[in-house]
Copies of this chain bind each other. A is one copy, B any other.
Amino acid sequence: MNAHPPTPASPARARPSPETVAAVVRELAATFGNRLVTAQAVREQHASTLTWVPNQPPDAVVFARSTEEVQAAVRICAAHRMPVVAFGTGTSLEGHVNAPYGGVSIDLAEMNRVLAVHAEDLDCVVQPGVTRKALNEHLRDQGLFFPIDPGADASLGGMAATRASGTNAVRYGTMKDNVLALTAVLPNGEVVRTGSRARKSSAGYDLTRLLVGSEGTLGIITELTLRLSGIPEAISAGICPFPTIKAACDAVIMTIQSGIPVARIELLDEVQVAACNAYSKLSLPETPLLLVEFHGSEAGVAEQAERFGEIAAEFGGGPYEWATKAEDRTRLWQARHDVYWAAVALRPGARVIATDVCVPISRLAECVDETKRDIVESGITAPIAGHVGDGNFHTSPLVMMDDPDEIARVTGFIERLVARALAMEGTCTGEHGIGQKKLRFMAIEHGPAALEMMRALKRTLDPDDIMNPGKVVPV
């Protein structure tokens, strides 16, 4: 049985004809040789595989090794109006890499070299297939790190394309803040270079930020210049249960208002804590839980951890535990590290449907509380974990994919979750992106004028709609 939730489709657009596919494949094969692949298994791997989005494979996959090769592939596809979909590690969650209208997936995993590290400038230049863990491995000896951590070991090109963020964003920002410059292949086959290694610039339109978050619909990123940070001299980490979500959120607000430069501040709800207790054999109190981490000097991180403890106590939090040694920190944060697998173990056989919204932090407690009520009333299982310093939280309904009724209930729940976040002046996604599954919320979130402005940008830069069609901007 295959009871998928509704997925947007554009009946107006047809897949390329078999003749077109054959012609494109022939031309690509001439350039890419055996790095042009049409085997079904490979094509299926290059489409959505992680969540409940149906797998919509491309017609062919090419494994590119340079900007010039990406350009060659795009030019061949453009000449035939064939869709092109950039592919990094395939860890996006909203159907970003699907090929609903067929086309060619350009796999960038082999473009995995760190081209330069400029330690004095705290920046580096990388190819798009470098993953964040590989980059951090490369940087460690120089005392540097790249702070954006979305959980998955995603490729940096994909992280830029989806405007990823994660646990460190409250202190270090998102991909929007940590990309200095890009090289990209545009839909017309031109190679564009945006930005520079200067930390800031007022020289013209911000093409870098236009490409960051465009999900491969305006260009394919083939090189990135990234901001780096120094590995902090010291790190402290803490964990603190709270009587209610509200109390935990109030402690977060006070922490940030006080100017304590918290590096990570994560919330788990009691359902998630119980799941972690079961999975990781912990004995945390099954109430809302905050996990915090501070980066700085030895004295600084001790002071920050202590001040957070005082704030937590003011809001009824405790017992509060904190540590600076690496093994103690790992032990304290065990629950957070195991969030995903603990959720999976809650309901064997179920799919984890990770979704996210983001609201102003003053509305966070209310949004989470209403969402928890909705979870109960919908009769679904959905732990909540959030990057609460940003007002961003995830809920991960566990769905039996052979139960159409449950799928319908989860679909309705996500609709209400988004409506709730938007009503609170938030956004339908803080970090997962639009892809296919959140396309229908774009008009509601942005309104007709902004949506038409996005459409105009897309039409101008990609008049034939060849780059990742069916994503981000509803036609």
List chain A positions with a Cβ less than 8 A from chain B.
Answer: 118-123, 143, 162-165, 169, 173-174, 176-177, 186, 190-194, 196-207, 209-210, 212-214, 218, 229-230, 232-233, 253, 256-259, 261, 295-297, 299-300, 303, 307, 358-362, 390-392, 421, 425-434, 438, 441-442, 445-447, 449-450, 452-454, 456-461, 472-473
Pick from B122, B205, B446: contact of A256, CB below 8 A.
B122
Question: How far in angstroms is the closest Cβ of chain B from A263?
Answer: 11
A453 to B210, CA, bound (A): 11
Q: What residues on B are CB-neighbors of A209 within 8 Å?
A: 176, 206, 209-210
Question: How far in angstroms is the closest Cβ of chain B from A191?
Answer: 6
A173 to B452, CA, bound (A): 30
Q: What residues on B are CB-neighbors of A186 within 8 Å?
A: 449, 453
B358 and A199 contacting across the interface, CB-CB below 8 Å: yes
Q: What residues on B are CB-neighbors of A303 within 8 Å?
A: 297, 299-300
Pick from B193, B261, B446, B454: contact of A447, CB below 8 A.
B193
Contacts known (A176-B206, A361-B121); A296 close to B259, Cβ less than 8 A = yes
A120 to B256, CA, bound (A): 9
B358 and A119 contacting across the interface, CB-CB below 8 Å: no
B118 and A203 contacting across the interface, CB-CB below 8 Å: no
What are 19 A-B pairs with beta-carbon distances under 8 A?
A118-B360, A121-B361, A122-B257, A176-B206, A176-B209, A186-B453, A190-B449, A192-B449, A193-B449, A196-B427, A197-B360, A199-B358, A201-B358, A203-B429, A203-B441, A209-B209, A209-B210, A297-B303, A300-B303
A430 to B360, CA, bound (A): 31
Contacts known (A193-B449, A230-B257); A204 close to B454, Cβ less than 8 A = yes
Known: A122-B257, A205-B210, A207-B453. 14 other contacts (CB 8 A): A121-B362, A162-B202, A186-B453, A192-B447, A196-B426, A198-B358, A200-B390, A203-B441, A205-B213, A207-B454, A297-B307, A299-B299, A300-B303, A459-B460
Question: How far in angstroms is the closest Cβ of chain B from A105?
Answer: 21
Pick from B198, B261, B441, B458: contact of A427, CB below 8 A.
B198
A342 to B445, CA, bound (A): 51
A196 and B390 contacting across the interface, CB-CB below 8 Å: no
B177 and A173 contacting across the interface, CB-CB below 8 Å: yes
Pick from B204, B445, B473: contact of A205, CB below 8 A.
B473
B460 and A457 contacting across the interface, CB-CB below 8 Å: yes
Pick from B197, B207, B391, B454: contact of A199, CB below 8 A.
B391
B359 and A198 contacting across the interface, CB-CB below 8 Å: yes
A429 and B202 contacting across the interface, CB-CB below 8 Å: yes
A204 and B472 contacting across the interface, CB-CB below 8 Å: yes
Q: What residues on B are CB-neighbors of A212 within 8 Å?
A: 206
A120 and B197 contacting across the interface, CB-CB below 8 Å: no
Pick from B118, B200, B232: contact of A392, CB below 8 A.
B200
A473 to B206, CA, bound (A): 12
Q: What residues on B are CB-neighbors of A196 within 8 Å?
A: 425-427, 445
Contacts known (A121-B362, A196-B425); A446 close to B204, Cβ less than 8 A = yes
Question: How far in angstroms is the closest Cβ of chain B from A293?
Answer: 15
Q: Shortest 5 CB-CB distances between A and B: which pairs?
A: A209-B209, A201-B427, A120-B362, A198-B358, A460-B460
Q: What residues on B are CB-neighbors of A430 within 8 Å?
A: 198-202
A442 to B210, CA, bound (A): 18
Question: How far in angstroms is the closest Cβ of chain B from A226?
Answer: 13
